[in-house]
Structure 1
Amino acid sequence: MVDASNRPQIFQHICKSLTTTVYDTLWVPSSARFVVLGSTARSTGSIQVYELSGSELNEVAKVEKSCSFKCGTFGASSLVERQLATGDFKGNLHIWDLEKMGIPVFHVKAHETIINAIDGCGGLGIGHGAPEIVTGGRDGRVCVWDQRQKDDPVALFEPETRDTNRDCWSVAFGNSYNDEERCVMAGYDNGDIKLFDLRTGKVPWETTLKSGMAIGTTIWGVKHLPQNREVFMVLGGDGSLSLYKHSNPSKRSLKSMEGRPYGITDKVNLLSSQPLSTQPVACFDWSPDKEGLAVFGSFDQCIRVAIVTKLNKI
């Protein structure tokens, strides 16, 4: 348990109203800048770059593209290049140089329709092995891309038949502890979770989640604190941010009075919660460089910079 006097607090530092619908916010690595991805009223794509300067936000770049953007990642880029990979509503995967956003440095038609989720690995010191990007789409496919190999994904996982298509809502890399091992976790709209082993091309584990811990609102996303992976922020459909901490039990199993072993579940404790918007919080990103600094977007067409205090006390 966290002492009440040391509980973290969530504060809004800056709020800025935009004319675009915000779908993703991402800190530019090793900088005070962040990227806002979204859609204009004309259903075109918007990439905006802002710089945080004290209590001010300064727009340093803005471009409009033909299709609305849904998601992005810097995870496959080097710290020198800091190239942004984006997924859009027409299934396109682009990689952009933020200093020259006129033409993408890489483009491929990755999915039949909207790319819901994206993640990167192999860049920014994240994982071992080649820099790769994974995308999950409404067509139910999960694709892994290496920009050095044009046109075709280096790995593809899709439903067996068209009739069983599930909307893939989330994807994430993991297990990349050497140059050979790497996995992808994918979540689907019916509660299915699948683990794909990229080395073997198989599904070593899968399950279906029917219910979970009730928190009183729809969950739009979860983001783990880079400096402490046991701490994570939950994005609420009621416009709230809620900070939780995961903790392992002291023992993994106990025995019943009859001598039968049974497992002990992990614990998740609510540390702090704060309503900050009247609309769902659609996206959130922790600063990888300054603990407790975050940027998020909500469907009231606002971006907000938040500060979470006392994270070093938990």
Structure 2
Amino acid sequence: MDKPQTLVYQEKSLNYTCYDAKWIPKSARFVVLGCMPRGTGVIEVFSLYGGKLESQKQIEKKASFKCGTFGAALEDRLLATGDFDGRLSLWDLEHLSSPLYTVGAHKQIINTIDGCGGRWGHGAPEIVTGSRDGCVHVWDPRQDSGPVMSLIAPENLEKKPDCWAVAFGNSFDDSERCVACGYDNGDLKLLDMRTRSLRWEANLRNGICSLEFDRRDIEMNKLIATTLESKFYLFDMRTQHPQKGYANLAQKASEGTLWDVSHLPQNRELFATAGGKGSIDIWRYRYPSQRWRVDPEDGKTEGVMGEVEHVCEQMLSSQPIHSIDWNADKLGLGVVTSFDQTVRVIIVTRLNKYE
């Protein structure tokens, strides 16, 4: 049977550095966030209609934009952004003159952001931000009383770890929710928002560039972390051993840094990694026949890992691909950004055979 292929459907060169791109929910439009040569920030909305990629609107703001998410306001299609000045803002894309909500969230650049609530997880609409200042904060944009939860680096550290990745998960009812946090020193921490405590931590020996649960709105199932030195780590999050933690596997991917990971919304066993050599790799996870077993040494329950299958690889750019986002309505339709100042709409074919 023919293997899936990744095709560039449309591409557009930009006059600014693009850092992130996200599909606007329930539409054929996406938004690109970035930095103009003069250091100002840009939000640009593109539409994909009739086989053409066209810019619909563009605004410029004082501070460059690093990251964005629709996760906390999916139904209303409100975009949350993190910028180089450490400011978190919530935007209505139809009225971009000023944000609906804004807060000075961090003392330094916001590197990473994620949202949860509504259709992407039960419970309150919340946004998590991670920054170069070493802090992780969780925000409820309905409140003006500051973060609802924080993980702050100890003051006595000579160099505070730089938080590069955050992700919500385990939001399967109105009380449960977790946040995974990844740092430049390889630390991986899992915060339990119900108990407001550190649930688990590990170190992956390389800076963690991105994190993603396969879905936010179910009991924790799988978590993927990508790293600086061309490896990703896949954790089975259903069973936690008291000493060993979560079962996991390490997979060598493309050369260079793995900047991003993104699961396909239609099939959570398929995911893509964005590579430092300018490639997109598609992977499939195969579950084991039994997901847990009893550890013969201590009698405790531990997880059992399955296997990862490499589905396909495609070179898209001579520069690193650093963000990827999948359209929730069309299987295999994605948008990627790279350091060559180009945004590309891609289509991965023949993925329905894995359903």
What amino acid is the match of 1:155?
Answer: M
Cα distance in 1 for residues equivalent to 2:127 and 2:335: 23
- Per-residue displacement from partner, 1:242-292 (whole Å, max 9, x unpaired)? 00011112245789xxxx999753211110000010100011110011111
Structure-1 residue corresponding to 2:170: 175
Q: How many angstroms does 1:140 deviate by?
A: 1.1
- 1:66 pairs with 2:106: no
Structure-2 residue corresponding to 1:226: 265
Structure-1 residue corresponding to 2:4: 8
C-alpha RMSD of the superposition:
2.0
- 1:276 pairs with 2:316: yes
Check conservation: 2:67, 2:81, Cα contact below 8 A.
yes
Cα distance in 1 for residues equivalent to 2:303 and 2:198: 25
Decide which of 37, 42, 64 is 1:41's aligned counterpart.
Answer: 37
* Match runs of 1:46-61 below 5 Å: 46-61=42-57
Structure-2 residue corresponding to 1:214: 252
Cα distance in 1 for residues equivalent to 2:303 and 2:51: 49
What amino acid is the match of 1:147?
Answer: P
Cα distance in 1 for residues equivalent to 2:251 and 2:74: 37
Which SS does the other structure have where 2:138 is aligned?
A: strand
Structure-1 residue corresponding to 2:148: 154
What amino acid is the match of 1:218?
Answer: T
- 1:144 pairs with 2:183: no
Structure-1 residue corresponding to 2:108: 113
Structure-1 residue corresponding to 2:120: 126
Tell me which moved more, 168-177 or 147-156.
147-156
Check conservation: 1:108, 1:151, Cα contact below 8 A.
no
Which SS does the other structure have where 2:146 is aligned?
A: coil
Structure-2 residue corresponding to 1:290: 330
Which SS does the other structure have where 2:252 is aligned?
A: coil
Decide which of 182, 187, 194 is 1:187's aligned counterpart.
Answer: 182
- Per-residue displacement from partner, 1:93-116 (whole Å, max 9, x unpaired)? 011110110011000000111101
Which SS does the other structure have where 2:251 is aligned?
A: coil
Flag structure 1 segments of 5+ consecutive residues without an equivalent: none
Q: How many angstroms does 1:160 deviate by?
A: 2.2
CA 1:264/1:126 → structure 2, altered by over 3 Å: closer, same or farther? Answer: closer
Cα distance in 2 for residues equivalent to 1:72 and 1:262: 36
Which SS does the other structure have where 1:76 is aligned?
A: coil
Cα distance in 2 for residues equivalent to 1:74 and 1:253: 34
Runs of 4+ in 1 over 6 A off after TM superposition: 260-263
Structure-2 residue corresponding to 1:305: 345
- 1:201 pairs with 2:196: yes
Flag structure 2 segments of 5+ consecutive residues without an equivalent: 207-249
Cα distance in 1 for residues equivalent to 2:287 and 2:176: 26
What amino acid is the match of 2:37?
Answer: A
Cα distance in 2 for residues equivalent to 1:224 and 1:199: 25
- Per-residue displacement from partner, 1:190-218 (whole Å, max 9, x unpaired)? 11110101111101111111374222331
Check conservation: 2:11, 2:53, Cα contact below 8 A.
no
- 1:250 pairs with 2:244: no
Cα distance in 2 for residues equivalent to 1:172 and 1:190: 18
* Bigger relative contact order (CA 8 A; separation at least 6): 1
Q: How many angstroms does 1:301 deviate by?
A: 0.4
Which SS does the other structure have where 1:221 is aligned?
A: strand
Cα distance in 1 for residues equivalent to 2:348 and 2:12: 18
CA 1:200/1:54 → structure 2, altered by over 3 Å: closer, same or farther? Answer: same
What amino acid is the match of 1:229?
Answer: R
Structure-1 residue corresponding to 2:243: none
Q: How many angstroms does 1:229 deviate by?
A: 1.0
CA 1:201/1:254 → structure 2, altered by over 3 Å: closer, same or farther? Answer: closer
When normalised by structure 1's length, the TM-score is 0.93
Decide which of 81, 84, 91 is 2:86's aligned counterpart.
Answer: 91
What amino acid is the match of 2:146?
Answer: D
Which SS does the other structure have where 1:213 is aligned?
A: strand
CA 1:287/1:263 → structure 2, altered by over 3 Å: closer, same or farther? Answer: closer
- Per-residue displacement from partner, 1:66-114 (whole Å, max 9, x unpaired)? 00000000011142x2111000011000111101100110000001111
Q: How many angstroms does 1:232 deviate by?
A: 0.5
CA 1:86/1:254 → structure 2, altered by over 3 Å: closer, same or farther? Answer: closer
Cα distance in 2 for residues equivalent to 1:178 and 1:26: 26
Count of aligned pairs:
306
Cα distance in 1 for residues equivalent to 2:68 and 2:347: 22
